[in-house]
Structure 1
Amino acid sequence: DILTYTNGTQEQHMDKVKLVLHRLRAARLQVDIRKCRFATQEVKYLGLIISTEGVRMDPVKTEAITNWQAPRNVHDVQAFLGFANFYRRFIAGFSVLAAPMSELTRTEKAEPPPPNQDTDKRRKKRKARYVPFKWTEQCQQSFEKLKAAFTSAPVLAHFDPDLEALVETDASDYIVAGVLSQRSIEDDILRPVAYFSKKMSLQECNYEIYDKELLAIVKAFEEWRPELAGTPVGHPVQVLTDHRNLEWFMESKKLNRRQARWAEFLSEFDFIIKYRPGKQGTKPDSLTRRSGDLPENDEDDRVRHQQQTVLKPHNLEEGVKPSLYATEAQSIAEVTADSNDFDKNYDVAAQDDLTVQKILAALRDENGPRSIPGMSLAHCTEAQGKLYFDKRLYIPDNDDLKLQILKNAHESPLAGHPGKKKLHHLLTRTFYWPGLMESVQRFTENANAAVETYLRGFVNYKQDDWTEWLASAEFAANNNVSETTGFTPFFANTGRHPRMGIEPTTLRTPQSRSRRAQVDAEEIDRFATQMQTLHEYLQDEMRWAQAMQEKWTNRHRLPPPAYRLGDKVWLSTRNLSTTRPSKKLDYRQIGPYSVTEIISPTTYKLDLPHDFQIHDVFHTNLLRRDPDDALPGQIPTPPPPLVLAEDEELNEWEVEEILDSRHRGRGVQYLVKYSGHPQPSWQPSRDLTNCDEALLAYHHTNSTKPVAIAFGSLLQAHMRVDPQRLTQITVNHSDNTCSNSSSN
């Protein structure tokens, strides 16, 4: 089915319909005109009626529910609830209304067979046994109320991802519920999008009221995850709850194990929890306090499981620690605690970054420029005073802020110390700054190399105690003098050196203790002045070290060669990979290629072949001028291209020779050398057609190499290949083995 929706004029809608029909015609697909409807404001789709007002139930479907006869057994109850469950989003308090009937579908644990029966019978799978079926007056009332609710269900509004979403949640002792709403732009009325209610499990009924209210929020976000995960930047989801303490949940530093798990899940969403008195939250509150949600008597499992036994201190072993599960929660708390410091550091860095200020000024000026050098403002937005690039936070040019982000992402237990690619992928979900990949590479390389050198000298023979030395490795790195600044990182940050345990003990006389107690404002000012002087000195030392490094490097460096447009140059293969086995025996240079653009005095753009898959801008260190005065015998033969294009499905190439074969996945690939393209490439066996001679020639001289099953009949007919060999290859390949030694 193809649904074409237009939020505009009828002319705009017809343009979209014509575009769809043109696409179908180009694909040679024909639609059934008898089943088509055009220019309509209402359509039936998947048991629903979708209109310009919203989404409602199909009267034809609801008529089947209203005419449903009263169930006579468990199977009838399951059939009715299964059919009605499809429309539960339209029914407020669905789980409450259906609670008496749902109890009839509850299963009990089957008793094991008596021990005097045969062993085989006891080993049989125990079948679930339902509670005794008894259709009571409460079940009949639940049945009638649920049918009546379908006839008066409201029209739910369409969820608009560009509008602000409002989630109202509430929890009673045994049920959690919520309402998803959005405010209409036309009439400024808050319209419901979906309802949600769910009975708690026996374990969830034991939660404290704080956790029950939080469980309602978690269940609501799980229910409407597709809608709430894509909220626009700067418009967080408003979550209304009648439990005031939940307002600071995401900022809490002490979380139990369950709350830490929920915090990790909720961190995927952009939302704000707001307190609203229970008297004002009539919609979600009514979903949890309807008749049928409370236990009938003390024998209800939900009441029995709330009775707990609290052990006294003398009943506990001394070695039992209450912080058994605190590790995971503590990691979540630390990440949450750093958010306030990050906001402060970001605001300070953004004020000092001229580029950020230019972009923000241009965005705030309606008549301002649409772009600045090196940046298009079409990808930039401002939200809550912060700059976003493609919905990612733009990080100012501040090394400390970037380092803070890299450390939090790399050292967080939730990230698991990822490598370069995974760390880069993790950061690009949320952050952006020019040269992000280069920062990730420098951070991971420098962080890992120094730690590996330290650990190599201290780990035991089995190397299974390296984690115990990590803290000492960090201390040693911060206590070593930097060649650039001449000071240790610890001294540069604190103005003093740490104690290593090898210093002589200093007697603390009463006079020394009193002197330390007399630190006043003058001492603080002196220390601040000392630190400022130290930092200024360190900055000068770093600038001097950079200048000396540049001087000594340029001392042995010739000026870069200058190329003009149209010059022929050879490209080094230092950073290029080929399919040839040995890098040492591979071509050192390829080309020559023409210079098409001068990017800078040291970077040039080359006219590479169309089947290359590499960037066409290179540094002058990778280029060498093609000599134009060489003798005829000195002109080198250009080597073949390195990488072939992948969009060659519609082209047909002539096979010159087959060089090798290998197992890949559930098939066999061949290394094929094509005429006119000396560089071979791996191709699946299904792409090799009309090349029987090349296949026979290859397998004749390589009888032990893998054979594609599709070519078995060809090889048997011309080479008399043993059928057992093909069968053996098939068996080995199905077992994911790549060796054919057993078939030799």
Structure 2
Amino acid sequence: MNYQKIIKQDKIKATKCVSVKVDSFSNLIDSIQKSLWQDYQYIIILQDLGKGESVQDYSLDSSSQLLLFKDWVVVPNDPTIQLTTLQKWHDSPLAEHPGQDNTFKLVKRDFQWSGMTQFIKDYVSSCQKCSRNKNIHQKKFGLLKPLPIPNGLWICLSMDFITQSPLSNSFDSILVIVDRFPKIAVFIPKISSITTLDLAHEFINNIFSKHGLPSSSVSDGGSLFVSLFWTNLWQKLKISRDLSTAYHPETNKTTERVNQILEQYLWMYSVHITQDTPSGKVSTKIQSVQKDVRRELEVSINRFKRYADKSRASPPAFNHSDMVWFSSKNIKSTRPTKKLSERWWGPFPILKKVSTHAYHLKLQSPWTPSTQSSIFHS
């Protein structure tokens, strides 16, 4: 049987280039041929054509006896055969897993079945190899959600470490604490082996003794900030704690930005201490300045959010137990080159919705991180 005749002659060369040889479809063609006689939608049409009667837009291929709709081979309403047909043009090593539009064009060259467009769309969108290895060509998910503006000085703090710095006076790290209202920063030289007890002492000596207790703090998921001692200390002091999600520095953007321009920031800020007792006029002026600062912060944040959201889309709504993928962009690859690594890992189930933008995932082997590093921003 010459199966090459069922493929349109002007498409044979292109079909070979992007999929596989025509002769390799013999098993698929045989399956289509047998299944058509079990599909009630086409049995009457096949019988009429077999009697020599004319059926609009339908015909029988003289060589293979396959049913043709115009110039396309009719695939029966059998999901297994439809799936096999689709996989020939999508999963084949030579096809290179094309997208929805290109897969549809390849299949549509020679085949047709009811609901083919949606069938191809559903299959390609759920293809795990495509999900693992392809970039997302659309706006970044998640509209900007700035942290609320504090109501006064030293009420809300953000904390972070600058590590792996050149050794200076036996110090190789810097503890950065920023008041999120006026953006005043405190830089404390430390060593990388600092303990949670040392961190607590630095907080008491440099923040609490001078400015009192804050009401909240923002930090990353570093081991010091999520340790049992630090967590219990914050609970005893009734300080609410917000942790930035993994690989999402925008959550603690204030401190991250300060870290980037540390030298410039140190140069620009200096503390002028006076021994004079401030008068009532000074106190009133400070309150007025704070109102001005708050107003300008609101304007700045709204402007930043407006521009940032132009390149972002609303995040998809995920629920408990949904299976999701997370980006491998910030994960160190074990492959010789990052370019050959999978772009997305998963799918993993959602254990808990932490916030409107963050989710706790149940990571499986070989991913066994801590609880905090299992929380990802959408």
Q: Normalising by the residue count of structure 2, what TM-score does the alignment of the two structures yield?
A: 0.33
When Rg is computed on C-alpha atoms for both structures, the one with the higher figure is 1
Greater relative contact order: 1 or 2 (C-alpha under 8 angstroms, separation 6 or more)? 2
Q: Please give the TM-score of this superposition, normalised by the length of structure 1.
A: 0.18
